[in-house]
Amino acid sequence: MSSATSSVEALSSLLSRQKSAFASAGAVSADTRRQRIQQVIDMLVRHHGELTEAIDLDFGGRPAGFSLMNDVLGALAALKHARDHLQGWMKEDPRQPFEPYDQLGAKAWVMHQPKGTVGILGTWNAPLYTLFSPLASALAAGNRAILKPSEVVPRTAELVARLCAEHLDPLDVAVVNGDAQLGEAFTAQPFDHLVFTGSTAIGRLVMRNAAQNLVPVTLELGGKSPVIVARSADLNKAAFSIAAAKACNGGQICINPDLVYVPKALLEPFLDALRAAYSELNPSVAGNPDVVAVVNQRHLDRVESYVLDAQARGARIECLPEPLALNPQDRRRPLRVVVDPAQDSLIMREEIFGPAVVVLTYEDLDQAIDDINARPRPLALYYFGEDPQEQQYVLEHTVSGGVTVNDVMMHAAMHDAPFGGVGASGMGHYHGREGFLEFSHQRTVFKAPEHDPRREWGLLPPYGEHYLATMIAMVTAD
């Protein structure tokens, strides 16, 4: 049977066969884990051209260089980091036995055991990275995996399925393809762990389905990641970093800035700096091969509806680099900057995930922090400023999945640090040792000493006359 299938029954059978193979294989050596990861690396290196071409066709315009940087090189970096460090991560973790067994020769340790088969649901905005970066952690931990690419990018999904079938053992790593109905069935399978990257709304459904089988989940969701531009910030640096982020993948990134908080007195200088920076990066939009298109018409209509709703409610709209005569054959769009929209606007509630951004003015820092804290926990938070005490204040008075200071989105590139959300932006991590631990069962082992003193100490029945008094005497506060 091909590793690519649209049949729920075949998916269930595939999962069952992977689980049987896992159970019969026993311990998974470091060499085996490295070999599995290397096969994925070799596949991506060999076929990177085909993969970036498929992504370009699916998006209707996505530069090959960007897809290489974002998806291929991003995935390769995660895979190589896991390959090169997994042996150290696998080492047993010695723990101190409790008294008095520590004096009698007892030993204790934590072993990191693979869970079994991990199901990984990727997303369309980073169709390779969201599959193969968590796969790196899963394989490093000794697991097998079944991948479900996003149906929004069908050419990429089909190519990933074909390449994995050609280069990988389906009992190690397999791919299933299908529509949202198969995706829902996928999340209801009895995996040993499930990874989902996508929206918060769908994340709730994934978690509900996984709960039927008590499957642990890693949810990488989104949210309205805020940027605080402080009065002490280098305004040109902040504007350039935000412009570069919004130009990246057409703003279609889970950690992309959604809300930018700017001191009211600095609004016009900031908007001028943002326009200059964005125009430098993208001096034109129509036909510009450097501009990433919105992935499909449904998502384009969604983003447009947010902007039009805000405009209808009285928001100021700036268009960078300039307004565009719309071409129905081209989904590339300029960046719309929505200034101080009404609180009940769609764009204030929904994750943008496209070429638009909200700029909100504030009088004092606590006003911005209070507004951030009144919203669901974001996947990322960004602070621009040169005041160390203020920086620490922001870090201590906000909660987010990750933080970048004086830039945006950089923390997600750390392969030796956990990446993940909190609250409505997700749960769990991948990347680095924390990713290895996420997909490992941390199994405590206690090895008893030869001599057990409990009976001679009167700690086993029949209890002696001094047993209760001894227990009471041990109830202390120090």
Q: Which residues contact 181 (CB under 8 A, 6 or more apart)?
A: none
Asked if residue 233 lies in contact with residue 384, where contact means CB atoms within 8 angstroms, the answer is: yes
Question: CA quadruple 331, 335, 337, 343: dihedral positive or negative?
Answer: positive
The first and second tokens of residue 144, run together, are: 């097998």
**Bridge partners (DSSP) listed for residue 111:** 443
Nearest to 114, CA basis, from 217, 23, 8 = 23
Q: Quick one: tokens of 318?
A: 């700036």
Q: Determine the Cα–Cα distance for residues 293 and 59; give it in Å rounded to an integer.
A: 6
Q: Which residues are CB-neighbours of 156 under 8 A, at least 6 positions away?
A: 51, 54, 55, 58, 127, 128, 149
Distance set, CA 284 to CA 20, 279, 281, 323 (Å): 56, 7, 9, 10
Could you give the dihedral angle defined by the CA atoms of residues 250, 182, 197 and 307, in that order, rounded to the nearest 10 degrees? 40
Whether the CA torsion 371, 373, 377, 379 is positive or negative: it is positive
Partners of 447 in the β-ladder: 107
Burial class from Cβ neighbours inside 10 Å (0-12, 13-18, 19+) for residue 167 reads middle
- Sign of the torsion formed by the C-alpha atoms of 354, 224, 337 and 74: negative
DSSP letter string over 427-468?
E--BSHHHHHHHTEEEEEEEE--S---TTTTT-SSSP-TTHH
Task: Name the packing angle between helices 74-90 and 30-46 (round to 10°).
Answer: 170
List the beta strands (DSSP E) in 180-241.
193-197, 217-220, 226-229
User: Residue 30 is encoded by which pair of tokens?
Assistant: 């470091």
Closest CA relative to residue 167, chosen from 71, 53, 38: 38
Alpha-carbon distance of 36 to 12, in angstroms, equals: 23
Residues annotated as part of the active site = 220, 254
Q: Could you count the other beta carbons within 10 Å of the beta carbon of residue 474?
A: 7
Alpha-carbon gap, residue 384 to 233, rounded angstroms: 5
At position 437, the amino acid (one-letter code) is L
The secondary structure element, H or E, covering residue 237 is helix 235-247
